[in-house]
């Protein structure tokens, strides 16, 4: 196979491979269109502003191929089982393996209200809205997701329906040969005045693979969604994730993300406040140890008047781990009386760890309010001294301070059960010593 046929990604990700993937006619045609475009693009490089501070120059997809779909799934992973137990009663539960929906359970009461949670690959026609929120972004990885995506979880809540229990989506990537590309996808659409909560988990084994999760959220006028995502990838997995939302007039999105795993784990969060009076709350916590990189890029797009957004991302890194945060608040023409804030705070727990934090503003309208703040540093010595003066051992004091650092965001999680689960995970990692106490003191 020639290089032009294979494109920049190697023969395993060529158009001919995409054409052989099964699915309904609309999905096959959608893949073919994306594969043609993919053949004409190149992978990004770190010198590009949007990929600055990343590790993208290290990626090699010349031997990559879509993950296989053979075999039946085993029982839920321990991460999935614990999270499901923590969430408790659910309106619907979906389990997908390697990007393919395997089981869907919808509570009869939710189904009677018209709530639909389905596999896109099982539909004769394309689900309404698939790709619409992400459409303005056509880069190498979104085209890769379109060209080789096997399926998508589609969650639809009709107008006026208020769900009291969450919809839970579990994406387990599975175990594959090194070089596998896994493409989980989720579309969430809420009708006018609908209310719902969605919890999503993405987890993987220890193989070297690339995950490109894509999440699209489309909220109609007055809709309210609480979205919670937990990323617990294996330590050899790379991730390039996309979370895109579009909010109609008066719609409200509360989003909470926890990033815990991966080798290099990147997430792009784009929130378009397209309708007047819409509001978005974007929260994230992240941990990095060993040589992990947690990489976040955010865009708060204020398109309409009287829109509001608040972003707070907080993380801690130890060992030689790094975190990256770059964010942009963009006030479009017409976004009068919009109000936006952006905060990123990082704890650096060892001499070899590092955090980059770059907030940005782009204001094209008068009569708006914008603020941004960032901080990078070690644990506050005054806090440690205060606890030590009251008889708290140093290692315990350091853990208490770190837990307290995250607690204000965990307490704002839309799903209390998920917050409890995350507290347990942080404590376990502290107890295992992978997030050591205050190694800056080693220099003294």
| 190-231: pLDDT as tens digits | 999 999 999 999 999 888 999 999 999 999 999 999 999 999
Residue 8 has pLDDT above 80, yes or no: no
The encoded tokens of residue 169 equal: 């989506």
User: What was the pLDDT predicted at 69?
Assistant: 66
Residue 443 has pLDDT above 80, yes or no: no
Backbone angles phi, psi at 237, to 5 degrees: -85, 135
Under 8 Å between Cβ of 23 and 15: no
User: What was the pLDDT predicted at 298?
Assistant: 98
Residue 136 has pLDDT above 80, yes or no: no
Predicted model pTM = 0.93
User: What was the pLDDT predicted at 440?
Assistant: 41
User: What was the pLDDT predicted at 434?
Assistant: 61
Residue 275 has pLDDT above 70, yes or no: yes
Residue 182 has pLDDT above 70, yes or no: yes
User: What was the pLDDT predicted at 388?
Assistant: 78
Listed in sequence order, the residues at least 6 apart from 328 whose beta carbon sits closer than 8 Å to its beta carbon are: 298, 299, 300, 360, 361, 362
Under 8 Å between Cβ of 297 and 241: no
Under 8 Å between Cβ of 64 and 10: yes
Interval 243-261: pLDDT, tens: 999 999 999 999 999 999 9
User: What was the pLDDT predicted at 427?
Assistant: 85
Beta-bridge partners for 168: 93, 199
User: What was the pLDDT predicted at 70?
Assistant: 57
User: What was the pLDDT predicted at 255?
Assistant: 98
Residue 78 has pLDDT above 90, yes or no: no
Interval 91-119: pLDDT, tens: 999 999 999 999 999 999 999 999 999 99
Under 8 Å between Cβ of 337 and 306: yes
**pLDDT band with cut points at 50, 70 and 90 for residue 384:** confident
Q: How far apart are the C-alpha atoms of 173 and 77, rounded to whole Å?
A: 10
**pLDDT band with cut points at 50, 70 and 90 for residue 135:** confident
Torsion of CA 437, 439, 441, 442, to 10 degrees: 140
Residue 7 has pLDDT above 60, yes or no: no
Q: How far apart are the C-alpha atoms of 236 and 206, rounded to whole Å?
A: 6
Interval 281-310: pLDDT, tens: 999 999 999 999 999 999 999 999 999 999
Residue 161 has pLDDT above 80, yes or no: yes
Mean pLDDT, range 268-275, rounded to an integer: 98
User: What was the pLDDT predicted at 71?
Assistant: 46
């Amino acid at each position: 196979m020639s290089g032009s046929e294979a494109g920049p990604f190697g023969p395993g990700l060529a158009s001919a491979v995409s054409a052989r993937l099964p699915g309904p006619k609309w999905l096959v045609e959608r893949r073919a269109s994306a594969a043609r475009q993919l053949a004409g693009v190149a992978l990004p490089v770190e010198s590009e502003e949007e990929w600055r501070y990343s590790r993208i120059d290290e990626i090699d997809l010349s031997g990559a191929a879509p993950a296989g779909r053979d075999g039946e799934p085993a029982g839920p992973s321990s991460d999935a089982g614990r999270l499901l137990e923590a969430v408790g009663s659910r309106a619907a539960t979906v389990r997908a393996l390697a990007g393919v929906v395997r089981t869907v359970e919808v509570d009869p009461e939710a189904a009677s209200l018209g709530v639909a949670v389905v596999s896109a690959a099982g539909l004769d026609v394309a689900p309404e809205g698939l790709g619409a929120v992400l459409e303005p972004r056509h880069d190498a990885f979104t085209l890769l997701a379109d060209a080789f995506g096997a399926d998508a979880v589609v969650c639809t809540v009709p107008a006026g329906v208020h769900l009291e229990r969450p919809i839970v989506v579990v994406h387990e990537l599975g175990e594959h040969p090194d070089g596998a590309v896994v493409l989980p996808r989720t579309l969430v659409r809420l009708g006018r005045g609908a209310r719902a909560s969605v919890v999503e988990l993405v987890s993987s084994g220890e193989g070297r693979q690339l995950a490109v999760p894509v999440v699209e959220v489309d909220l109609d006028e007055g809709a309210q969604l609480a979205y919670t995502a937990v990323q617990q990838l294996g330590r050899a997995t790379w991730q390039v994730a996309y979370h895109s939302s579009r909010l109609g007039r008066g719609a409200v999105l509360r989003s909470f993300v926890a990033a815990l795993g991966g080798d290099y784990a990147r997430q792009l969060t784009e929130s378009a406040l397209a309708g007047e009076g819409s509001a978005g709350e974007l929260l994230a916590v992240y941990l990095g140890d060993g040589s992990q990189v947690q990489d976040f890029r955010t865009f708060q797009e204020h398109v309409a008047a009287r829109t509001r957004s608040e972003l707070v991302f907080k993380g801690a890194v130890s060992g030689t781990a790094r975190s990256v945060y770059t964010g942009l608040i963009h006030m479009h023409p017409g976004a009068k009386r919009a109000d936006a804030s952006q905060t990123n705070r990082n704890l650096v727990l060892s001499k070899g760890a590092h955090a980059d934090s770059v907030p940005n503003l782009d204001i094209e309208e008068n009569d708006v309010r914008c603020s941004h703040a960032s901080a990078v540093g070690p644990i506050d010595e005054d806090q440690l001294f205060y606890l030590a003066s009251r008889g708290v051992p140093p290692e315990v004091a350091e853990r208490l301070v770190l837990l307290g650092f995250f607690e204000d965001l965990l307490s704002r999680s839309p799903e209390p059960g998920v917050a409890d689960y995350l507290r347990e995970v942080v404590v376990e990692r502290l107890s295992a010593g992978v997030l050591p106490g205050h190694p800056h003191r080693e220099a003294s």
